[in-house]
Amino acid sequence: MAKGNINVSVENIFPLIKKFLYSDHEIFLRELVSNATDATLKLKHLTNIGEAKVEYGNPMIEIKIDKENKTLHIIDQGIGMTEEEVQKYINEVAFSGAEDFISKHKDAEKEGIIGHFGLGFYSSFMVADKVEIITKSYTDTPAVRWSCDGSPQFDLGPSDKTDRGTEIILHIAEDSVEFLEEYKIRELLLKYNRFMPVPIKFGTKEETLPLPEGADKDAKPEKVTVDNIINNPNPAWTKSPSELKDEDYKAFYHELYPMQFDEPLFYIHLNVDYPFHLTGILFFPKLGNNINIEKDKIQLYQNQVFVTDEVKGIVPDFLMLLRGVIDSPDIPLNVSRSYLQADGAVKKISSYITKKVADKMVSLMNENREDYEKKWNDIKVVIEYGMISEDKFFEKSDKFALYPTVDGVYYTFDELKDKIKNNQTDKEGKLVILYASNINEQDQYIQTAKSKGYEVLLLDSPIVPHLIQKLETSKENISFVRVDADHINNLIKKEEETTSILSEDEKEALKKELEETIDSKTYTIALENLGRDDAPFMLTQPEFMRRMKDMQQTGGGMYGMMGNFPEMYNLVVNTNSPLASEILSKEDKTDKAQIIKQALDLAKLSQNILKGKDLTDFIKRSFEMIK
């Protein structure tokens, strides 16, 4: 039995590992299972190239709990280690077995070697006060046993192990006994190792065999005990898209997110070999107007090992609303795989994903526009967010971004321009695009616009204020105006003007009467020469103020620092309405004030802003007027 000191550069590395290197103790199992996978895939590579003259077979990794002895066992049937390799890869922490292996066998990267064996292995001391390794190399060299109690000293000697591979035995510490519970180990295996490329056995299960053909009707099906393989070694993203059908992608979606009962709307299969390696599948779920979905995030894997679902930096912000998997060996992580490190490769990956999503949108639009339009309301938030935040995505968006009308007709931007340019270009030559954010609340204004033959878009997602700001600054000579921002004649000003039936003196008198009754801090009174059939009083909210307020509510950067915007409205009074003439003709001041208040309240009611005491007073006044 040999004794020795582990070659480390500090007096005792284990407290450092426990405190700083691995902040999350549970990842020890991820690291040990990853090492076992490495060992198995290395053997596969060596047998493939003829260097290992052994039968590869159908190896698996087994996880066993021994509650009585308080041990956890991780057993593989991989490459194993000689005594010299144990000395090098276990005792000399600075070396990485996988790194050294790859330097000799460059092709091994394709086999998915994970790396950092030394440091990954030492994470086991976060939960164990003693660790044993029993290992036998695939070569004819004798098996060895290594043990260490968490101090720099180790024991290394012969073992009677006869089969190829490595067994790690963790003697679980008193403060970590939760890792002797079956439910806890199953939870960790499903979290981190659910898609590892080597089958992982965790216990056994009973299966019922189907009855053979012609079996007696009273025959009972036989039950057998089989290995419980807890992972899926060949998940969908590791396969070629040509191997998969729509139902395969949907099945994988539910495998990833078992609590999701809705089907994904569509998916994007990522697969690139240069200038970096990346595979994955992104799913578009039904989002509606929800921009705060956090529950089922995109999962990041490194060679089928789960790393994190905090993928900010790798995935552009606007795609964080999607679900799915990204797997890349080229994503730079710190040694504990806990944090993404800033790197040029990450920006390239993010740009590639953005381009791939844009290309997918174009193809979906071209292949089946009718189906794409049906899904628009469930994907528009992602598309609009991308248009705002990613310039390259915005540049391509004219081919797939849709602008629906209140009547359910969908246009691309160019189609919309062609449709409205003749009728909705104002006297200054600017194209005015009218939109509503709520069909029910803004119906009066929508109907007025439609009566003039104008198209009104329905733009109701929470980020529309930012989107139209982007469109106005990026495209020439256009303006977006919400349909209730002013009277329709003022939204799209034409050359023709309507003559007022009131003289200038009568207008001055009318304005004075209105100002004596109406709060000037909330309402700016504007007299307009409109048609006799137009509403006598109309409330509008200035486009700029309302837009700034909306941006503030959805995180508008500089707008969020401008304080709360006051509630301000324009009161448009139609000088050609019979009501205007009636107000002027009334002799009694009280009667005038009552008519003005009633008309203002009706205008507020049409905007759904008549609330509280004002609403109570309006109802009471209305009943008094019809007595």
Query: Which residues define the annotated binding site?
Result: 31, 35, 76, 81, 96-97, 166, 337
In this structure, are strands 323-327 and 299-302 parallel, antiparallel, or unpaired?
parallel
C-alpha angle with apex 552: 551 to 556, nearest 5 degrees? Answer: 65
> Are 36 and 142 within 8 A, CB to CB?
no
Contacts of 85 (CB under 8 A, 6+ apart): 97, 137
In the chain, count H helices and then E strands. 19, 22
Tell me whether residue 544 is exposed, middle or buried, using C-beta atoms within 10 angstroms of its C-beta: 0 to 12, 13 to 18, 19 or more: exposed
Q: What is the largest CA-CA distance in the chain?
A: 116
275: preceding bond cis by omega (within 30 degrees): yes
CA separation for the pair 310, 331 (Å, rounded): 13
Backbone angles phi, psi at 222, to 5 degrees: -85, 140
CA separation for the pair 512, 589 (Å, rounded): 12
Contacts of 341 (CB under 8 A, 6+ apart): 332, 333, 334
Contacts of 48 (CB under 8 A, 6+ apart): none
Kindly provide the b/e burial profile for residues 320-335, where b requires at least 16 CB atoms within 10 angstroms of the residue's own CB. bbbbbbbbbbebebee
Tokens of 261: 């009962």
Binding residues for ATP: 31, 35, 76, 81, 96-97, 166, 337
Tokens of 487: 């009277």
CA separation for the pair 411, 460 (Å, rounded): 16
CA separation for the pair 326, 350 (Å, rounded): 11
Kindly provide the b/e burial profile for residues 587-612, where b requires at least 16 CB atoms within 10 angstroms of the residue's own CB. eeeeebbbbbbbbbbbbbebbeebee
**Reduced 3-state DSSP string for 50-88:** CCCCCCCCCCCEEEEEECCCCEEEEECCCCCCCHHHHHH
Element containing residue 272 per DSSP (H, E)? strand 266-272
Residues in the chain, how many? 627
Distance of CA 239 to the CA centre of its chain: 23
Contacts of 303 (CB under 8 A, 6+ apart): 112, 113, 114, 197, 327, 329
CA 514, 515, 518, 522 torsion-angle sign: positive
Contacts of 75 (CB under 8 A, 6+ apart): 36, 61, 62, 63, 64, 165, 166, 167, 168
Tokens of 450: 């439609």
